[in-house]
Amino acid sequence: MTKNIRKFFKNIYSQELAILERKSLDIIKSSKHGDMPRWRNLYDELPDVNPSFFELDGNVIKIGQRDEIDDVSYAKLYEILRQYMPWRKGPYSIFGINIDTEWRSDIKWDRFKDGISDISGRKILDIGAANGYHCLRALGAGAEFVMGVDPTLLYFMQFQLLNRYLKSDKVNVLPVGVDDIPYNCGYFDTVFSMGLLYHRRSPFDHLIQIYSFLKSGGELVLETLVVDGPQGYALTPRDRYAKMSNVWFIPSVETLLNWLKKCRYVDLKVSDISKTTSDEQRVTDWMTFESLNDFLDPLNKDITVEGYPAPRRAVVLAKKPQ
């Protein structure tokens, strides 16, 4: 893992971002998370197999095929993948083992892939990357390199497991948060912020942060919860929203566009507005905890268990001026 992170940072020509290499290595070394020793031991026990087949540009990210691994190694890999549950973002197929994740992240990707600037040759930042599904899709679309950040150590370890077989030094998910990224680095061509804005106490600070990460002319791909309402309206849940305790503001689409304008973004485009359904988010054999249906009123699926409008998400594309 540490070797992969060091190799990844050799592709980053920015002294400012070098701090993330040191911080990531320190977190791995000093983590007090109770499951980290177990996850690291499992990582070391992964079967030593070199796949020749990869597919990063389809709905299911595929690494290896069933005929590239023997039965004993296949069984061992399956058990280790199960030990890394819950798998929330995907789907994946690893040597023919199909990981049916809670979120069909390919559905989200399809909502903006045709509207964004060509990813080929671009430097990508994915904030709140989880296990790196969208990072790998960006790599499959031809990105020069992709940096994902997510402080959840399980997601970091899931990505390291995947990259153990992918063996790419052009993509990595680091165990750090958005606030660890050097402000005003101006390094990235495209920044993904998907499912994060409503978790930030100050949406303006988050949008300004991202603006500072982008090169001139760079693009923000913003996916967030929205509600119906006029310009200026935003829902502020009293306590929880869909059983989430850390939801601060859910704006109307017009309010969201105004926030982006006030933060100096241009070329705003609403790429998609969709209600979240159980086709996209649900309980599976690989994520057996509560999911969308548990967050909605059992008698009225148009509202959450708290009585708020059921989740609806918008994807907005915006650019930093040249």
CATH of residue 121's domain is 3.40.50.150
Q: pTM (2 decimals)? A: 0.97
Structural domain for 191, as ranges: 2-319
- The model's pLDDT over 119-167, given as tens digits with 9 standing for 90+, comes to 999 999 999 999 999 999 999 999 999 999 999 999 999 999 999 999 9
Q: Is the pLDDT of residue 231 over 90?
A: yes
Residue 32 confidence (pLDDT)? 85
Residue 206 confidence (pLDDT)? 98
The separation between the first and the last C-alpha atoms of the chain, rounded to the nearest angstrom, is 37
| Mean pLDDT taken over the chain | 97
Q: Is the pLDDT of residue 13 over 90?
A: no
**Nearest to residue 197, comparing CAs of 164, 230, 220?**
220
**Nearest to residue 58, comparing CAs of 98, 110, 119, 100?**
110
Q: Which residue has the tokens 């973002």?
A: 89
Mean pLDDT value across residues 235-245: 97
* Number of DSSP helices (H) and strands (E) in the chain, helices first: 10, 17
Domain count across the chain: 1
Least confident of 26-40, 158-172, 220-234, 293-307: 26-40
Phi, psi of 139 (to 5 degrees): -60, -45
